[in-house]
Chain A
């Protein structure tokens, strides 16, 4: 049994909080700390809260970082599975961002990232999460977002970025655009983070490939089996009973006949 009558008091110097405090100080989060003389427990709690906060934020933009993004996404999936409410995930990528860095320097690049981050955060509801996914890629999780509104929300974001002047020096103001890919979580079922982000990513690539500065959204997954898939499915049957195959593929096109003979 644990001796509960006299718990060992926490000796603050023993904890070597130096690194933690330096981190907090660097991000300006030490001011809110209770003085250790006043209450060592409240002081420690303050340090831990500060570190947790830091661990969820992207230092450059102040947005949620990838870690928090994943936990928000996971929660979103559970809510969708439980309530059936639709939730939308948008993946955004700044178009030709490398050019900004190459032409105006990395500091200008950082300024652009910060300006876009601020713009995105201003475009969405308080319940939504905007995250920096990596490099010049951002993600927005919109819980409880109706399927019919998805495209409008994404389009609003795209437009807001497009019309945002970003001053990077007294003389130079930049304008950038974003490509946006979106996917709704499959309703009622428990999906996975990977599957959901992947579907949004596919749409993002589509938006890029179709010329950038545009929105592509994947709604619910379409259940379809293509003619090519069917051909491959029944290819082996053709060996034994060609008449049978012809009968099923009667509605198909000329490639059905090709398949039988091959």
Chain B
């Protein structure tokens, strides 16, 4: 990584980036893989775009990205080319079918799955280049609690944890929240419960998680965390259909129960999570 081309949209952003989370940046994370994190990121982005926001989804799962698979997009230029200086940032940003922008990691990012000072700096530079141009940035992080995931999350002002009602998913969501509280001093984390069977499942699960957090995590000073229930996405056969066809649910079936729920999620994100828009 000797010579580097400028990576920014405005061509000359200073490389020194303040070490504070970017506002308008929401990290979507889960702990466990396969709970629909990328599905939620993509469809929530589409729903937010439908409401008139300029949205960008960044594939922050540098090692094992699959946003491209979900969106059925295989661009020639990806984040990898921006990282290696082969392309400018704006060349790598593409329009996704749902009316939002995406920045895909692309293959070859496996070498970036370890967090090094270079990866970190590249990432920060790219983020600070992107932030001014969008109303909201969704960081679709990888599964697990690796240093890359924790780093990506640390850049976001808000964390959305996606979980399913399954015990394994709940355990991993809980572990993730525990680490975010212990390491980053997060005071609030939002929970999206995917594939719920009944109305009210998500609320019950949130309350349950909060109880365990209160008992085992926030009992120490400086560790208070509020788990906020952002919403549920009901189990819905339409989701599987859309995923298999590699289409966005919000495009093909926005009126199905899961689609309506995501629409509501978007409304709630705009109302309660994002800084108020004029």
Q: Is B215 an interface residue (CB 8 A)?
A: yes
Give the residue name and chain of the A residue nearest to B197 (CB).
Answer: A240
Total interface residues in chain A, CB < 8 Å: 32
Chain B interface mostly: helix
Q: With A190-B19, A198-B220 in contact, do A225 and B171 touch (Cβ < 8 Å)?
A: yes
The 9 closest A-B pairs by CB, nearest first: A194-B222, A192-B185, A186-B183, A248-B167, A232-B212, A189-B154, A234-B167, A225-B175, A189-B183
Contact residues of B with A, CB < 8 Å? 19, 115-117, 120, 145, 147, 150-151, 154, 165, 167-168, 170-171, 174-175, 178-179, 182-185, 204, 208-209, 211-212, 215-216, 220-223
Contact B204 A78 (CB under 8 A): no
Q: Is A2 an interface residue (CB 8 A)?
A: no
9-residue interface stretch from A32-40, A80-88, A91-99, A143-151: A80-88
Q: Is A188 an interface residue (CB 8 A)?
A: yes
A78, A82, A232: which contacts B215 (Cβ < 8 A)?
A232
Q: With A82-B19, A189-B151 in contact, do A229 and B179 touch (Cβ < 8 Å)?
A: no
Contact A191 B175 (CB under 8 A): no
Q: Which of A225, A236, A245 has the most CB of B within 10 A?
A: A225
Contact A198 B222 (CB under 8 A): yes
Give the residue name and chain of the A residue nearest to B209 (CB).
Answer: A233
User: How far, in angstroms, from A170 to B156 measured CA to CA in the complex?
Assistant: 62
Q: In the complex, what residues of B have CB within 8 A of residue A234's CB?
A: 167, 170
Contact residues of A with B, CB < 8 Å? 78, 81-84, 186-192, 194-195, 198, 221, 223-226, 228-230, 232-237, 244-245, 248
Give the residue name and chain of the B residue nearest to A226 (CB).
Answer: B216
Q: In the complex, what residues of B have CB within 8 A of residue A84's CB?
A: 115-117, 120
A188, A221, A230: which contacts B182 (Cβ < 8 A)?
A221
Contact B221 A198 (CB under 8 A): yes
Q: In the complex, what residues of B have CB within 8 A of residue A228's CB?
A: 216
Closest CB in chain A relative to B209 CB, distance in Å: 7
B117, B150, B174, B221: which contacts A229 (Cβ < 8 A)?
B174
Contact B179 A192 (CB under 8 A): no
Contact B222 A223 (CB under 8 A): no
User: How far, in angstroms, from A244 to B197 measured CA to CA in the complex?
Assistant: 15
Contact B151 A195 (CB under 8 A): no
Q: In the complex, what residues of B have CB within 8 A of residue A221's CB?
A: 179, 182-183
Contact B204 A229 (CB under 8 A): no
Contact A189 B150 (CB under 8 A): yes
User: How far, in angstroms, from A237 to B115 measured CA to CA in the complex?
Assistant: 38
Given contacts A232-B211, A233-B212, A244-B167, 8 further A-B contacts (CB under 8 A): A186-B183, A188-B147, A188-B151, A191-B184, A194-B222, A225-B171, A230-B167, A232-B216
